[in-house]
């Protein structure tokens, strides 16, 4: 077997592989042995006909497809491994047959999508917006009050109209141009007003209704609504209100937080809330600043990204979306039926974000390699010690449970941290006035 490689269009490499007559004959014989059980020939039991008989009956190329699979799969991985210093394959190759000859053997061509080289105009000396989020007393009060929700008492309301925050029991029947539509009708439906569960304008028009009241409300479906036949359409809903419930919260007292919050006083509980919110704010500030840096650098970058890389990223995003649906008790197939979208249409909505993600990954990799940013052994040891301490173990105890994949993740995390430290030090960061 001999092969040559040559650059091709849009971040692909053309690998031309030539197999000798002996190698090809061996692959055909293996294909015969593997697949002969599928074929029947008059006068022979199924799977017992000799190879020449099958070739004469079904045609000379009866075993060629399987032989191609056998010979290519046995050699292609080795080629990719041998060429890893020259290119990195990022998807399945497109295979074609250039020549088949009983005397010369077979020549195959594999067009391989490869990791592209990215050109970055600038990643130092840029003026980039940073983000900083601060925690206010109001934020702390709101966070502290959340614990009250778990002990809230639900009571019936009979002496006033409904308002935002109430849960109402309603019948509704919706129609467009006088025709009812699927999913637009329900009885004894519990709706929390102000939750945003229904389309804009629906809940606001229910507010102010009293028990036993009936009325029609008019709303307009958003232009980006999931159901294609309802996008931008005006709908009339006939509403009847049967009941109103509201939640009465207990008071936030020392006794309450002692019994429910694990603290002795309200002030102590609020202090813990502030600590938690400040950690969240710091994480948000860090993530958004780093995203801002990366976005600014990507704006200066160019790369011919192969479709295979984008499709792989879309696969991940679709899978993540599917998992989120599962937590809600839904399947992706049912979601597509409900929205009236095909899988192709659904995938297309991720293409822009997927392309940005791939470009970001390429940019990070390029800068890391250019600046020779590495995770030193001392860095890894320090990170392991930090993680061990967080779970109450010694570093030595913690190491016993670290597998190669986890260590690789630790090293990657260190490299990315060092990268952004480098980028922050080598660019001018400013805070936007609109930050909170």
Please give the tally of structural domains in the chain: 3
Residue 161 burial by Cβ neighbours in a 10 Å radius (0-12, 13-18, 19+): middle
Q: 159-200, pLDDT tens digit by residue?
A: 999 999 999 999 999 999 999 988 889 999 999 999 888 889
Confidence band (pLDDT; 50, 70, 90) for 347? very high
228 vs 234 pLDDT, higher one: 234
Q: Which helix (H) or strand (E) holds 245?
A: strand 234-248
Whether 434 has a pLDDT exceeding 80, the answer reads no
Domain span at residue 351 reads: 258-431
User: What distance in Å separates the CA atoms of residue 141 and residue 139, rounded to the nearest whole number?
Assistant: 6
Nearest to 277 by CA among 420, 431, 436: 436
Q: Looking at 223, 248, 273, which one is the last position of a domain?
A: 248
Rounded to 5 degrees, φ, ψ at 369 are -70, -40
Q: What percent of the chain has pLDDT over 90?
A: 80
CATH number for the domain harbouring residue 179: 3.10.50.40
Res 435: pLDDT: 43
Kindly report the pTM of this predicted structure.
Answer: 0.72
Which range is most confident: 145-159, 325-339, 343-357, 382-396? 343-357
Whether 223 has a pLDDT exceeding 90, the answer reads no
CATH number for the domain harbouring residue 323: 1.10.3120.10
Res 433: pLDDT: 56
Residue 31 burial by Cβ neighbours in a 10 Å radius (0-12, 13-18, 19+): buried
CATH number for the domain harbouring residue 91: 3.30.70.1050
Neighbours of 87 (CB within 10 A): 20
**Token representation of residue 65:** 């497809």
Whether 63 has a pLDDT exceeding 90, the answer reads yes
Q: Looking at 248, 279, 310, which one is the last position of a domain?
A: 248
When the pLDDT of each residue in the chain is averaged and rounded to a whole number, the result is: 93
250 vs 150 pLDDT, higher one: 250
Examine residue 65 and state whether it is found in any structural domain, yes or no: yes
Nearest to 20 by CA among 75, 82, 94: 75
Q: Is there a single domain that holds both residue 406 and residue 285?
A: yes
User: What distance in Å separates the CA atoms of residue 242 and residue 222, rounded to the nearest whole number?
Assistant: 28
Q: Is there a single domain that holds both residue 422 and residue 275?
A: yes
């Amino acid at each position: 077997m001999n092969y040559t490689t040559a650059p091709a269009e849009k971040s692909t490499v053309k690998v031309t592989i030539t197999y000798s007559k002996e190698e090809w004959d061996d692959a055909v014989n293996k294909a015969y042995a593997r697949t002969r059980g599928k074929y029947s020939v008059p006068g022979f039991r199924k799977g017992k006909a000799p190879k020449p008989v099958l070739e004469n009956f079904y045609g000379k190329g009866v075993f060629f497809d399987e032989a191609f699979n056998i010979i290519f799969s046995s050699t292609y991985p080795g080629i990719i491994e041998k060429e890893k210093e020259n290119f990195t394959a990022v998807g399945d190759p497109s295979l074609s047959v250039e020549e088949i000859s009983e005397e010369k053997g077979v020549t195959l061509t594999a067009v391989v999508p490869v990791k592209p080289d990215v050109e970055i105009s600038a990643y130092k000396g840029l003026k980039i917006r940073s983000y900083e989020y601060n925690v206010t007393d109001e934020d702390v009060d709101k966070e502290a009050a959340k614990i009250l929700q778990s002990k809230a008492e639900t009571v019936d309301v009979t002496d006033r109209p409904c308002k935002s925050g109430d849960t109402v029991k309603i019948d509704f029947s919706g129609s467009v141009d006088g025709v009812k539509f699927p999913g637009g009708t329900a009885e004894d439906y519990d709706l929390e007003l102000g939750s945003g569960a229904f389309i804009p304008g629906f809940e606001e028009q229910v507010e102010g209704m009293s028990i036993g009241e009936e009325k029609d409300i008019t709303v307009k479906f958003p232009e980006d609504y999931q159901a294609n036949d309802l996008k931008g359409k005006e709908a009339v809903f006939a509403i009847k209100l049967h009941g109103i419930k509201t939640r009465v919260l207990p008071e936030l007292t020392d006794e309450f937080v002692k019994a429910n919050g694990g603290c002795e006083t309200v002030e102590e509980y609020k202090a813990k809330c502030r600590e938690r919110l400040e950690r969240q704010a710091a994480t948000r500030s860090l993530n958004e600043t780093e995203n801002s840096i990366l976005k600014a650098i990507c704006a200066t970058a160019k790369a011919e990204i192969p479709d295979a890389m984008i499709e792989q990223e879309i696969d991940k995003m679709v899978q993540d979306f599917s998992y989120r649906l599962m937590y809600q008790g839904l399947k992706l197939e049912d979601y597509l039926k409900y929205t009236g979208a095909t899988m192709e249409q659904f995938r297309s909505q991720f293409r822009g974000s997927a392309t940005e993600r791939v470009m970001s990954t390429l940019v990070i990799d390029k800068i890391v390699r250019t600046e020779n940013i590495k995770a030193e052994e001392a860095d890894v040891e320090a990170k392991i010690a930090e993680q061990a301490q967080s779970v109450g173990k010694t570093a030595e105890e913690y190491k016993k449970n670290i597998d190669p994949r986890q260590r690789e993740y630790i090293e990657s995390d260190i490299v990315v941290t060092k990268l952004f430290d480098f980028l922050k030090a080598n660019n001018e960061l400013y805070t936007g006035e609109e930050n909170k």
